[in-house]
């Protein structure tokens, strides 16, 4: 139990390098300082919007259930064509935990329209309401990352909405630490890697063109990583450690028919499958950066938001773990971060003008200042990133 607890992100135990603070955060983030920074950003932000929201096609959906909200354009200039508009950010898994806290933090600035991409529409609606998010600040659209069809349908519905895409945050995840047997996505992939990596991989690939077309000043694709996938930390060294091996399980489809359900071809382990999926997330971000940053100007980033020990991520853990994990993180490792604080951190990666560097894995120090962190050798292995990209392309039907 203590071992399991330690395996989940006690950042106070980390031996990662704490670099220079890239920006001051915390109270300044959504208080005066960010607002001031953002003002500068937005005052010079008179955009020619080629897409007219009024003329957009209705967002018909078989599975998508979009809440109708007011268009995100909020003023026209004298020339009539130039438009000052809100940024549009898609956040997967915004119905709870980090995703919800980030959605709320961004919505509260009044400068973002949040598309909450969630598998449970009613849960997301209730969550947004109980978080106090203004109705016009968000749209809920159905997305089940454990189904490639659903991912394609979400993309289709989003495109048909006519809304520009400025930032995509791949945040949703499942974690099955106590599972004895693997479970599988609709397409037959082991659930953690299938959802956390392959679902997000297809989503990001299909939405890249939309981001390219956006006229927003700073376009970003953010994939949430984790310290648990980084074996250059003490937390990342607690068994079972992330290890993708030679990718033979991924090459075989993770379906237990042609291969193992695990990426490295080994025996199923739910905690390891989650950590492996996070390594894939961090490698995918770097491969996106290598392939597309220079040509598109899009910022690709990953992050470790801190140990948010209270979220639903731990829902499948035994009750005693769920009881003891938050105080363990608060008082023993001191790695605990509240959902609100973690949400501000991710919101910073979405919108802070000082965090535009691409190919970066952000972390925060004890003073809650962001810094560019180092990834483990495996999580920064460029050759492996290319192989995973190619194999994932095949598995999601893009190659």
Catalytic residues: 274
The window from 133-141, 213-221, 262-270, 310-318 that contacts ligand NAP (CB under 6 A) reads 310-318
Is residue 395 near ligand NAP by the rule CB under 6 A?
Answer: no
Q: What is the DSSP string of 330-362?
A: IIII--B--HHHHHHHHHHHHH-TT---SSEEE
C-beta of residue 195 within 8 angstroms of C-beta of residue 262: no
Cα–Cα distance for residue pair 364/356, rounded to 1 Å: 16
The window from 140-148, 153-161, 205-213, 387-395 that contacts ligand NAP (CB under 6 A) reads 140-148
Is residue 359 near ligand NAP by the rule CB under 6 A?
Answer: no
- The residue (of 72 and 124) whose beta carbon lies closer to ligand NAP is 124
Q: In what order do the strands lie in the sheet with 47-48?
A: 47-48, 82-85, 73-76
Is residue 253 near ligand NAP by the rule CB under 6 A?
Answer: no
Q: Which residues contact 370 (CB under 8 A, 6 or more apart)?
A: 21, 22, 23, 25, 345, 348, 349, 355, 362, 363, 364
- The residue (of 5 and 72) whose beta carbon lies closer to ligand NAP is 5
Is residue 312 near ligand NAP by the rule CB under 6 A?
Answer: yes
- The residue (of 81 and 129) whose beta carbon lies closer to ligand NAP is 129
Instruction: Give the footprint of ligand NAP on residues 184-223 (CB under 6 A).
Output: 195
The window from 244-252, 263-271, 307-315, 361-369 that contacts ligand NAP (CB under 6 A) reads 307-315
Is residue 95 near ligand NAP by the rule CB under 6 A?
Answer: yes
Is residue 240 near ligand NAP by the rule CB under 6 A?
Answer: no
Q: How many CB atoms lie within 10 A of CB 179?
A: 17
Beta-bridged to residue 167, according to DSSP, are: 89, 220
Which of 120, 136, 256, 393 forms a contact with ligand NAP (CB under 6 A)? 120
Q: Which residues contact 301 (CB under 8 A, 6 or more apart)?
A: 220, 221, 222, 223, 285, 349, 355, 357, 358, 359, 360, 361, 362
Is residue 280 near ligand NAP by the rule CB under 6 A?
Answer: no
Q: Which residues bind ligand NAP (CB under 6 A)?
A: 9, 92-93, 95-99, 118-120, 123, 143-146, 171-174, 195, 224, 226, 304-305, 307-309, 311-313
């Amino acid at each position: 139990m203590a071992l399991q607890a330690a395996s989940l992100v006690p950042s106070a135990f980390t031996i990662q390098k704490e670099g220079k603070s890239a920006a001051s955060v915390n109270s300044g983030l959504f208080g005066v300082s960010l607002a001031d920074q953002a003002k500068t950003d937005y005052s010079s932000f008179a955009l020619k919007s080629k897409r007219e929201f009024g003329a957009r096609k209705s967002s018909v959906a078989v599975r998508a259930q979009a809440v109708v909200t007011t268009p995100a354009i909020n003023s026209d200039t004298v020339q009539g064509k130039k438009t000052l508009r809100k940024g549009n950010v898609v956040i997967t898994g915004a119905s709870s935990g980090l995703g919800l806290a980030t959605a709320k933090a961004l919505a509260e600035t009044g400068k973002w329209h949040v598309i909450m991409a969630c598998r449970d529409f009613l849960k997301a609606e209730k969550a947004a309401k109980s978080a106090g998010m203004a109705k016009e600040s968000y749209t809920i659209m159905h997305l089940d990352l454990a189904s490639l069809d659903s991912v394609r349908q979400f993309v289709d519905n989003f495109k048909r909405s006519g809304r520009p895409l400025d930032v995509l945050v791949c945040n949703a995840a499942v974690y099955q630490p106590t599972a004895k047997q693997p479970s599988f996505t609709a397409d037959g992939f082991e659930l953690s890697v299938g959802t956390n990596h392959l679902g997000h991989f297809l989503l990001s690939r299909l939405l890249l063109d939309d981001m390219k077309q956006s006229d927003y000043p700073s376009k970003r694709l953010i994939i949430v990583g984790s310290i648990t996938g980084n074996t250059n930390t003490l937390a990342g060294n607690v068994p079972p450690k992330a290890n993708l091996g030679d990718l033979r399980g991924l090459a075989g489809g993770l379906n237990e028919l042609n291969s193992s359900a695990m990426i490295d071809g080994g025996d199923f382990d739910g905690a390891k499958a989650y950590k492996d999926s996070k390594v894939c997330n961090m490698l995918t971000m770097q491969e996106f950066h290598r392939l597309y940053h220079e040509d598109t100007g899009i910022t690709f980033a990953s992050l470790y938001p801190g140990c948010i020990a209270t979220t639903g991520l731990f829902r499948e853990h035994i009750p005693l773990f769920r009881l003891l994990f938050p105080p363990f993180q608060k008082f023993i490792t001191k790695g605990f971060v509240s959902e609100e604080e973690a949400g501000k951190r991710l919101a910073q990666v979405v919108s802070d003008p000082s965090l535009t560097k691409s190919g970066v894995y952000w972390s925060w120090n004890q003073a809650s200042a962001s810094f560019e962190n180092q990834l483990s050798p495996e999580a920064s292995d460029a050759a492996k990133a290319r192989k995973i990209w190619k194999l994932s392309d095949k598995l999601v039907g893009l190659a």
